[in-house]
Amino acid sequence: MPPVLKIILAIVLAGFGVIAALPWLVQPLLRALLWTRYRIIVRGLENLPRDGPALIAANHVTWYDGFFLAATCPRRGRALVNGDYVRFPVIRQLTRWVGLIPVPFSGPRAQRAMIQACRDALDRGEVVAIFPEGQLSRNGLTGTFHRGLEVILSGREHVPVVPVFLDNLWGSLLSYSGGRFLKKWPQGWRRTVVVVYGPPVPLPVTAFRVRQAVLEASVRAFEQRPVPVRPLETIDPSLPRLEHPALGPLTGSTADFDQGGVRHLGQRPGSVGRPLPGVALRAVDEQGRPLPEDVVGRLHALAAGHADWRDTGLRGSIDRDGFVRIE
C-alpha cells in the first residue's frame, strides 16, 4: 500500500476511534463548551438512582436545555428533542452521540414516536429526560405538563420520576425573552445557571404531581442565584395576581400567546395566575396532605428563602395547568 494511502487510512481509523469514544466524552466536552458562557451550579444529584431506569422531568425554557441536562446528569441518558431542530445530517448525528432522541414535532406520528422511544429506553434500564411542557416557555413561567408522561409510565410504576428545574435561563440568547429567539444581545458576560434535581415523585405519579415537584425544585434553585433577580417582564400587573404580606408576590398573570401553531395560556378567568419564579403553591387537606388538581383546600406556599411550607391563610385550588383559584 502506498505511504499516502496508509496515512489516509490511519487518519480515517483514528477518526472512527474518536467517534466510538465520543459518547464517554460527552459530559466533559459539554461542560467545557458551556463553561465559556455559563457558570453551572448543580444540586440534588443524590436524588437520581445510581442504576436502573429513571425518568427525568424538567421545565423547558431554551433550545439547549437538553445539553444542560447532559452536562450535569451523573449518568449517561437520553433526552427527546424536536426533530426539526436537528434535521441536518451532521447535527442530527451529533445529537444522537450526545444522547438526544429526535422525534417529530407535530402530526399523528409525533406522540406515538415520543412515547415509544421513551418506553424502549426505560426498558433498557436507561435514564430518559423529557420536557412535559412539550414547547418552550413564551413567558418565563412553567406551563402545562401534558399527560404523555403518564402513558410512558403505564405498567412501569417501578420507574422513579425525578423532577429537575433549570433556573436562570429566561433572558438567555435562545429563550423567548424580549418576544423573540435570537436577534438580541446576551445579558451579562457569564450567566449562572442552577440545575436542581429534586426527590423522586411519590406514587401515584400524575402530570399534575410531577409539575408540582418541579416547582418545588425551582424554589431551591432560585435560592442559589448569586445576584438579585429582576421580575419577569412578561407579568402584567393589571391582571389578577396574589401577594402575601410576609412572603411577597406569589402569583402573576401574563398575556396569552398564540402564534405559529404555538399556544400558551397566560391567564385564566377566575384565577390569580400561576406561581412566580421562586414560588411553589399547593392545596392541602386538614391533615396537611397535598390535594389533587381542582380540589379546594388550604393554600400553602413555599417561597425562596423559607425553609418550609407556610399556610397563607387562604383557601383555594390549583388546576392541572397550574392556575391558582382563591375561594
User: In the numeric block, which cell numbers belong to residue 204?
Assistant: 401515584
List, by residue range, all CATH 2.30.38.10 domains of the chain: 242-326
**133-168 core/surface letters (b: 16 or more CB in 10 A; e: else):** bbbbbbbbbbbbbbebbbebbeeeeebbbbbbbbbb
Distance CA 283, CA 297 (A): 5
The Cα diameter of the chain in Å comes to 84
Question: Given 2.30.38.10, 3.40.50.2000, 3.40.50.2020, 3.40.640.10, which CATH number is that of 242-326?
Answer: 2.30.38.10
User: In the numeric block, which cell numbers belong to residue 23?
Assistant: 459518547
User: Where do we find the cell 403518564?
Assistant: 150
Local confidence pLDDT in tens for the 327 residues of the chain? 555 444 444 444 344 344 444 455 667 777 788 888 899 999 999 999 999 999 999 999 998 888 898 889 888 777 766 666 556 565 566 666 666 676 666 666 777 877 888 898 899 999 999 999 988 999 999 999 998 899 999 999 899 999 999 999 998 888 999 888 877 776 667 889 999 999 999 999 999 999 999 999 999 999 998 877 778 999 999 999 999 999 999 999 999 999 888 889 999 999 999 999 999 999 999 999 999 999 999 999 999 988 899 999 999 999 999 999 999
The DSSP call for residue 276 is P
Specify the amino acid at residue 263. Answer: R
List, by residue range, all CATH 3.40.1130 domains of the chain: 13-222
User: In the numeric block, which cell numbers belong to residue 103?
Assistant: 422525534
Helix-, strand-, coil-residue percentages of the chain, each rounded to 5: 30, 25, 45
Record the pTM: 0.87
Instruction: Supply the CATH classification number for the domain 13-222.
Output: 3.40.1130
